[in-house]
Amino acid sequence: MTTLSPERPAAQRTPALGASRQSHVVADSITMLSRNLLHMVRYPGLSMFTILGPVVILLLTVFVFGGTLGAGLPGVDPAGGREAYLAYVMPGILLITIAGSAGGTATTVSMDMTEGITARFRTMAISRASVLAGHVLGNTIQAMIAVALVLGVGLLIGFRPTATPIEWIAAVGMIALIAFAVTWIAVGMGMQSKSVETASNLPLILMLLPLLGSGFVPTDSLPAGLAWFAQYQPFTPFIEAIRGLLLGTPLGWNPVLAIGWAVVIAVAGYSWSMLIYERKSVR
């Protein structure tokens, strides 16, 4: 069985790289993206898991805590508290969905590292940007699908956004940008982790941030120190921007702050990942 064909053209033995290497970055990124999407299609269970968490939190907060929490929101009639709280909490839940989905990326990146396939990609002259972009773009798409499904559950239980079509487009764009940025951080976390277990736990920090912002309660109801943190952490403008776009609450500077934070986070995550790629891909 192991008779390899003896006739092999000499030219084929040394594929020409050199000048054409740059143009391969895009093609390789697409190949890597399709690999990640194939994983998603092949193992939908992994993706379903990232949707299940936010849905449980949504149902829990709305139907268990919602009546009381809603009554405490400023300017809300205590009788309609639960509905008001559903509207209030939905943007935060969407952010938790994005963070949870990014956690999946950290796990898959870490698996690639420990299984040695990243090392194989490195010996094949595939640019690190392509390898990582495949993960980031794949997860951004996955996060968008997850957000759509969680939003669907919200609509089923009575979430009624007031957005115009243009506001919807802006909201979708904002969610995509946030997912893209947060995923770059998750890629870095996945690479930094020594084991797959660590990699799957580290992004829990990201899932906590909507809770420590304006996701579940107004920030001015928090104690002074926490209120200060909530005011200035990136997830608060993220949440406020989406809330403003979907429900017509005052936007203020929040969209600008959100875009600014997203760019900063994406650049930081990208630089971190690129920096440790070569060092961490050999085990």
Partner 1 sequence: MTTPAIETHGLRKSYGDKTVLDGIDLSVGAGTVTALLGPNGAGKTTTVHILSTLVRPDGGTALVNGCDVVRDPGGVRAVIGLTGQFSAVDGLLTGEENLLLMARLRHLGAKRSKARVTELLEQFDLVEAARKPLATYSGGMRRRLDLAMTLVATPSVIFLDEPTTGLDPRSRHTMWDIVRSLVAEGTTVLLTTQQLEEADELADRIAVLDGGRIVADGTPDELKRLVPGGHLRLRFADAATLDGASRLLDESARDDAGLALTVPSDGGVGTLRAVLDRLDAAKLEVDDLSIHTPDLDDVFFALTGKKDQNGKKDQPDRVDMKGTEP
- Which residues would be at the binding site for partner 1 (CB under 8 A)? 1-6, 8, 12-18, 21, 24, 27-28, 31, 35, 38-39, 42-43, 111, 115-117, 119-126, 281-283
- Output the smallest distance, CB 27 to partner 1, in A: 7
- Output the smallest distance, CB 110 to partner 1, in A: 13
Degrees, nearest 5: CA angle 19-22-25? 145
Closest CB to partner 1 among 31 and 198? 31
Closest CB to partner 1 among 107 and 254? 107
How many H-runs (helices) and E-runs (strands) does the chain carry?
Answer: 13, 0
C-alpha 187 chain-centroid distance: 10
Closest CB to partner 1 among 159 and 277? 277
Q: 281 with 119: CB under 8 angstroms?
A: yes
Q: How far apart are CA 213 and CA 227, in angstroms?
A: 8
- Output the smallest distance, CB 54 to partner 1, in A: 24
Closest CB to partner 1 among 119 and 251? 119
Closest CB to partner 1 among 42 and 166? 42
- Output the smallest distance, CB 146 to partner 1, in A: 19
- Output the smallest distance, CB 119 to partner 1, in A: 6
- Output the smallest distance, CB 243 to partner 1, in A: 37
Q: How far apart are CA 224 and CA 221, in angstroms?
A: 9
C-alpha 26 chain-centroid distance: 22
Closest CB to partner 1 among 77 and 197? 197
